[in-house]
Amino acid sequence: MFRFKIPQVVAAVDLGSNSFHMKVARVVDGHLHVVDRLKEMVRLAAGLDEDDRLTAPAIQRALECLERFGERLREIPSRGVRVVGTNTLRCARNATEFLRLAHHTIGHPVEVISGMEEARLIYLGVAQNVPQDDKQRLVIDIGGGSTEVIIGNGFKPVSMESLYVGCVGSSREFFADGKITAERLRRCELAAMQEFEPLQTTYRQIGWDAAVGSSGTVATIAAVLQHNGNGGKGITAAGLEWLRNALVDAGHVDKLAFPELQTERAPVFPGGVAILSAAFEVLGIKRLDPVSGALREGILYDLLGRFSPEDAREATIRDLVTRYRIDGGQAKRVEATALALCDQVAEAWRLGKPEHADLLRWAANLHELGLAIGHAQYHKHGAYLIEHADLAGFSLAEQAILAGLVRAHRRKFALRVLEGLPIKRSRALRLAALLRIAVVLHRARSEAELPQIIAEVDGDTLKLFFPEDWLNSHPLSQADLELERNYLRACGMRLKLK
């Protein structure tokens, strides 16, 4: 399952809505030692037009940054690099076009993650940078396009939310011309409070012993307050009140005379202050301390986990199997046969990358997920659950492919679904074909082992060789395979039985 040793050097790239970050670290005895970090204020979210499309200048800024990052990543093996996109790339209507250009520019694919996955990774990064004690912590990360709010204990998040409010979007909406007034600031706070309000009761009931903030916005606010003698290194409600008054007194982002505030951050600073003030007011926060860990640290530690049984994706699959009471024995039988077939045709069908086997394995384990809802059309139920669930560790692309394979594992081939996946059509068809055949071969749900089946391919023709007289002595399996041959023919594939 785990094909590679842990790389000696790993890198995480965080394509945030406000800034792009890259962190490079050496791996020593399972611990990370940072050797390089880069940050550029790209303000990708500010490049969304009124139709939620990234403008040409925004794309150009982003690609120029990625080109510089790519030069630093050139000598690092691809398995040691993970590039993650967040809120703006979740929202941009032309994100697919940008992702293709970004992949070519930086030399690595960009994984767009869900808000909940972003929250999980942020918490993981924070947990690595705070004392390991019994304290329950509230974590707030104010990004350019979203704000993640997490309560956790140790390395385990207890509750996570991703709110659709960020310093770039809020600043664009309420301070687009740079002017800061008390009325605008309060309106911005009220809009943010509406986002936090659904968390108020639950989060206060769960409670926390300490609150920390992991974003650049929080770090800057804390630095400004400390420089001006408000709250030491932490942030308090009184300190935020002083800062709000200072913003109003300045009257314009160009007149914010805080040495700790970088010029490029100034246009989005009022929105960030308003969001944090809203969090304090709605959640009843008394004090919040900045912490250095953030999304990129979480990405790095999660990346290390992918080289061990601690891979979050494996834990997610196990959790789904248990939660939805999937027949684990049947799932493992289908998995073993699908992978055995895949191993034999991997080179010819270009399915030799570890991620191809992983997707096939995960789909085999979850192919009966939809039975928890009902038998009729259960492949559609399973695909829906996978597509819309929060699957820890999975990118949105991985989740979509997994849902597509489960959707296509039986009955008529779901060509329309497979053609819309973020993977080459031929690979999606071939993975689905292997899964379908494995499911057919185990339709009897017998614990008896199958005979050795030899698989060969010639283009889109798959030949299966069975022991002599096996098909004749298993007429139901033969009938199922012949029906499957008809399904495959409809999508341009041929199945030959020998």
pLDDT of residue 186: 97
Q: Is 240:273 a contact under the CB 8 Å cutoff?
A: yes
pTM of the model: 0.87
As a whole number of angstroms, the distance between CA 262 and CA 220 comes to 9
Contact 170, 191 (CB under 8 A): yes
Q: Which residue type, as a one-letter code, is found at position 363?
A: A
Q: Give all domains of the chain, ordered by start, each with its CATH number.
A: 9-114+298-304 (3.30.420.40), 130-291 (3.30.420.150), 311-497 (1.10.3210.10)
Helix intervals (H) in 74-180: 87-91, 95-106, 115-127, 167-174
Tens digit of pLDDT per residue, the chain (498 long)?
Answer: 444 577 899 999 999 998 999 999 999 887 889 999 999 999 899 899 999 999 999 999 999 999 999 999 998 989 999 999 999 999 999 999 999 999 999 999 999 999 999 999 999 999 988 888 889 999 999 999 999 999 999 999 999 999 999 999 999 999 999 999 999 999 999 999 999 999 999 999 999 999 999 989 999 999 999 988 876 779 999 999 999 999 999 999 999 999 999 998 999 999 999 999 999 999 999 999 999 888 999 999 999 888 877 789 999 999 999 999 999 999 999 999 999 999 999 999 999 999 999 999 999 999 999 999 999 999 999 999 999 999 999 999 999 999 999 999 999 888 888 888 899 999 999 999 999 999 999 999 989 899 999 999 999 999 999 999 999 999 999 999 999 999 999 889 999 998
Whole-number Å distance between alpha carbons of 14 and 23: 9
pLDDT attached to residue 238? 94
Among residues 365, 445, 360, 370, which one has the least CA distance to residue 407?
Answer: 370
- The tokens for 439 are 């499911």
Q: How far apart are CA 126 and CA 141, in angstroms?
A: 10
